[in-house]
């Protein structure tokens, strides 16, 4: 029989597991420099297409700045979809999932490690995309509260990765659906979140689209960051966003935890946790 | 005989690829998945243009937004070929090497790697065709049906004799580029998730998908002018009657750029194949 652990020891074990999972992700993603350069440089092409389109139809240069921020946030959404949501699927395919399930740690600590590693990796890339975008397209920013921007950004990431944890749980038993569903959630979310739509479009975009978009934390965070970084806003212009993002986090984390337990027990009952090549 | 063997292997590869990509769900859901991505992409740019028209942001008041939207819808719909082929072929090596662990078996079977890649690429072509047709139909339903915008798109007036050769040549050029992406992924194991989207992004910017390439800086226009996607979209728009250009000249350029792309694609793939064999990369696994 295993010796009983104290809550402190349990916490430390879980934090070590999260750190270990994060380390693997950081090391794995950054050991090939060409990948890093490509991940920063290549998204600029899509962003550039929208910046040129805005210029062509006569929108102000701030629209281009909004697109660059949107493009950087898309990097996080892509990471959440492919490296969080679909991750249990990949882990099952590669045989790691069964090891996680028998390890004496919480599954949430593994997801936390993935989120921290993915967030840091993507943060480096997103920063590169923004800096390169500013350099290439010479778009204006009006930054009066940089610390608030950083705080909003961090809050958005926590909410976004909480959503990723929930998706990861739901995708756990998927076969090829995981792949197709992650792919399906790309462009529609770019559209709904307004990644390429600056905030001043608000009154013109149909309410139903805005309402659907508001269910995605990226939409809320993106709007707040744009208000601060492009509109020169302060806390009074984003306090509602802060409340909404905190609410997202408080709702999504417990749901993710419950969903994970449910899907794990369902997978055990149906014998699908080690099923490969579905 | 060699050609017959190639065709036979490609046909079997197509059959396997089609099952892998489509039999995880029912046909209606599969078709829905195929159309949502290009349609959402189209809605993004269409809304930008509609908003541009609504707020009167255009500097030119005589600008015909409906004509531009028709131009944009056709370009965006046919861009689905780019998305499907680039995304499908960019991930192919990773999936077969890491997930199904069959790349090494395919490689050691006599003369099957090339027809295998071609056959799997053709699955993306079929998916692309479904996406193009559904995107065009949905676009008309949304913009003319729901939003009553009267966009000048008449599918019955499309000149198929102009459209079909352009699409065939364009698809061959995209398959050749997909071949290069497979080659990159054979020798790399970090770019499979970004390569398809990024190369599609390059074509999105340079191929005249959402704005005419004349709006690009002149030094970038020269790059756009050697891309087959530029001529594919020009010829397609000409067959829809949305662009007054020289169709035969565009088709000739499309044929020429396709031929060059094909030669480069095969050469790059062979180089990658040799390097992978030398370094033992055909059974490399990577998970992180």
Using one digit for the tens of pLDDT, what is the confidence trace for B134-191? 889 988 898 888 888 888 888 888 999 999 999 999 999 999 999 999 999 999 877 7
Residue written as token pair 């990226």: A218
Asked if B40 reaches chain A (Cβ–Cβ under 8 Å), the answer is yes
* Nearest C-alpha in A relative to B21: A176
Give me the phi and psi of A4, to 5 degrees please. -75, 135
pLDDT of residue B258: 97
**With contact defined as beta carbons under 8 Å apart, do B268 and B188 qualify?**
no
- Per-residue pLDDT at A243 exceeds 70: yes
- Provide the domain count of chain A: 1
The residue assigned the tokens 């014998």 is A271
Q: Is residue B6 part of a domain?
A: yes
Could you count the other beta carbons within 10 Å of the beta carbon of residue B41?
26
| Token digits of residue B134 | 């559904």
User: In which domain, by residue range, is A237 found?
Assistant: 7-270
Average pLDDT of every residue of chain B: 88
The pLDDT assigned to A88 comes to 84
Residues in chain B within 8 Å Cβ distance of A94: 98, 285, 287
| Distance, CA of A251 to chain centre | 16
Cβ–Cβ under 8 Å, residues A152 and A227: no
Q: Choosing among B17, B201, B227, which should be mutated to test the A contact, i.e. which has the most A CBs within 10 A?
A: B201
**Residues B181, B195: contact at Cβ < 8 Å?**
yes
Contact in structure between A197 and B47 (CB atoms under 8 Å): yes
Q: Is residue A57 within 8 Å of B48, Cβ to Cβ?
A: yes
Which pLDDT belongs to residue A195?
Answer: 87
Residues of B in contact with A97 (CB under 8 A): none
Is position B212 within any domain?
A: yes
Residue B282, in any domain of the structure:
no
Angle at B253 between CA B247 and CA B255, to 5 degrees: 100
Q: What total of structural domains would you count in chain B?
A: 1
Task: Report the pLDDT averaged over residues B45-57.
Answer: 74
Question: Which chain B residues have a beta carbon less than 8 Å from that of A93?
Answer: 99
Please name which of B190, B196, B136 lies closest in space to residue A46, comparing C-alpha atoms. B196
Q: What is the pLDDT of residue A1?
A: 61
What gap in Å lies between CA A108 and CA A84, rounded to an integer?
12
| Pick from A69, A48, A41: nearest CA to A194 | A69
Q: What is the pTM of this model?
A: 0.85
Q: Which residue has the tokens 């943060």?
A: A123
Neighboring chain A residues of B38 at a CB cutoff of 8 Å:
187
Residue A2 lies in a domain: no
Would an 8 Å CB–CB cutoff place B218 in contact with chain A? no
| Closest Cβ–Cβ partner in B41, B58, B202 for A57 | B58
Which residue among B87, B215, B285 sits closest to A56, beta carbon to beta carbon?
B215
Cβ partners under 8 Å of residue A201, min gap 6: A194, B47, B51
Alpha-helical (H) ranges within chain B are: 2-22, 27-55, 65-94, 103-108, 113-139, 160-187, 192-206, 218-224, 228-239, 247-279
Instruction: Map tokens 């055909």 to a residue.
Output: B282
In a domain, B268, yes or no: yes
In this complex, which of B38, B44, B191 lies closest to A190 when CB atoms are compared? B44
Q: How distant is the Cα of B30 from the closest Cα of chain A, in angstroms?
A: 9
Query: Are the beta carbons of A100 and A260 closer than 8 angstroms?
Result: no
Residue with tokens 């997202």: A248
Angle between helices B2-22 and B113-139 in degrees, nearest 10: 50
| Cα end-to-end distance, chain A, whole Å | 37
Chain A residue closest to B63 (CA)?
A57
B230 in contact with A at a CB cutoff of 8 Å?
no
CB A228, CB A153: distance < 8 Å: no
The residue among B48, B72, B87, B49 whose CA lies nearest residue B193 is B87
Kindly determine whether residue B191 and residue A191, on different chains, have CB atoms separated by under 8 Å. Answer: no
pLDDT at B56 (0 to 100):
62
Rounded average pLDDT over A233-244: 92
Indicate whether B284 belongs to any domain. no
Instruction: Assign A97 a pLDDT band (cuts: 50, 70, 90).
Output: confident
Is the pLDDT reported for residue A256 higher than 70? Answer: yes
pLDDT band at B70 (very low <50, low <70, confident <90, very high): very high
Which structural domain, as residue segments, surrounds residue B123? 2-277
Comparing CA positions, the residue from B164, B139, B154 lying closest to residue B40 is B139
Interface check B287 vs A, CB under 8 A: yes
Residues B186, A45: Cα–Cα separation, whole Å: 24
**Residue B124 located in a structural domain:** yes
Burial B162-178 (b: 16+ CB within 10 A, else e): bbebbbebbbbbbbbbb
Q: Which two tokens stand for residue B194?
A: 């970004």
**B202 chain-A contacts, CB cut-off 8 A:** 42, 45
Which residue shows structure tokens 């778009």? Answer: A139
Contact assessment for residue B5 and residue B118, using Cβ atoms and an 8 Å cutoff = no
Chain A: closest CA distance from residue B104 (Å): 17
Q: What would the two tokens of residue A43 be?
A: 């998204």
Average pLDDT rounded to a whole number, residues A247-258: 93
For A85, other C-beta atoms within 10 Å of its C-beta total 25
């Amino acid at each position: 029989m295993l010796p009983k652990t104290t809550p402190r020891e349990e916490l430390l074990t879980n934090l070590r597991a999260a750190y270990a999972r994060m380390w693997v992700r950081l090391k794995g993603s950054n050991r090939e420099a060409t990948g890093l350069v490509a991940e920063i440089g290549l998204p600029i092409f899509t962003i550039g297409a929208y910046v040129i389109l805005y210029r062509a139809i006569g929108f102000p240069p701030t629209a281009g700045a909004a697109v660059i921020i949107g493009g950087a946030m898309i990097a996080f959404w892509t990471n959440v979809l492919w490296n969080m949501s679909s991750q249990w699927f990949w882990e099952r395919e590669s045989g790691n999932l069964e090891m996680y399930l028998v390890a004496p740690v919480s599954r949430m600590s593994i997801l936390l490690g993935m989120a921290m590693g993915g967030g840091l990796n993507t943060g480096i890339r997103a920063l590169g995309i923004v800096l390169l975008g500013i350099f290439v397209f010479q778009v204006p920013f009006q930054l009066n509260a940089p610390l608030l921007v950083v705080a909003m950004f961090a809050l958005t990431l926590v909410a976004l990765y909480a959503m990723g944890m929930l998706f990861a749980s739901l995708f756990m038993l998927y076969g090829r659906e995981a792949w197709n569903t992650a792919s399906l959630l790309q462009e529609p979310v770019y559209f709904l979140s307004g990644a390429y739509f600056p905030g001043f479009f608000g009154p013109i975009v149909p309410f139903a689209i805005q309402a659907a978009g508001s269910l995605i934390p990226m939409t809320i965070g993106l709007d707040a960051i744009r208000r601060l970084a492009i509109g020169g806003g302060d806390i009074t212009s984003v306090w509602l966003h802060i409340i909404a993002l905190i609410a997202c986090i408080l709702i999504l984390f417990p749901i993710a935890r419950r969903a994970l337990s449910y899907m794990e027990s369902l997978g055990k009952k149906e014998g699908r946790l080690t099923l490969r090549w579905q | 005989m060699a050609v017959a063997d190639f065709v036979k292997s490609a046909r079997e590869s197509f059959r396997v690829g089609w099952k892998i990509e489509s039999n995880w769900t029912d046909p209606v859901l599969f078709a829905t998945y195929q159309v949502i991505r290009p349609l959402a992409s189209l809605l993004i740019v269409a809304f930008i243009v509609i908003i541009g028209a609504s707020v009167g942001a255009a500097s030119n008041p005589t600008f015909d937004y409906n004509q531009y939207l028709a131009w944009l819808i056709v370009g965006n719909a046919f861009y689905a070929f780019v998305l499907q082929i680039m995304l499908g072929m960019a991930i192919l090596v990773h999936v077969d090497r890491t997930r199904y662990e069959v790349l090494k078996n395919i490689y050691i079977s006599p003369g099957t790697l090339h027809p295998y890649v071609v056959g799997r690429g053709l699955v993306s072509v079929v998916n692309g065709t479904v996406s193009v047709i559904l995107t065009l139909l949905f676009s008309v339903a949304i913009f003319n049906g729901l939003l009553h915008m009267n966009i000048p798109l008449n599918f019955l007036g499309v000149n198929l004799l102009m459209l079909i050769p352009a699409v065939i040549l364009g698809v061959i050029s995209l398959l050749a580029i997909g071949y290069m992406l497979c080659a990159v992924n054979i020798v790399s194991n970090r770019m499979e998730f970004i390569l398809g989207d990024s190369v599609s992004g390059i074509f999105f910017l340079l191929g005249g998908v959402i704005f005419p390439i004349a709006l690009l800086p002149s030094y970038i226009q020269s790059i756009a002018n050697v891309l087959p996607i530029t001529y594919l979209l020009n010829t397609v728009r000409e067959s829809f009657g949305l662009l007054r250009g020289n169709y035969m000249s565009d088709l000739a350029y499309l044929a020429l750029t396709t031929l060059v792309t094909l030669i480069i694609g095969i050469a790059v793939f062979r180089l990658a194949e040799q390097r992978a064999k030398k370094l033992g990369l055909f059974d490399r696994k990577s998970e992180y």
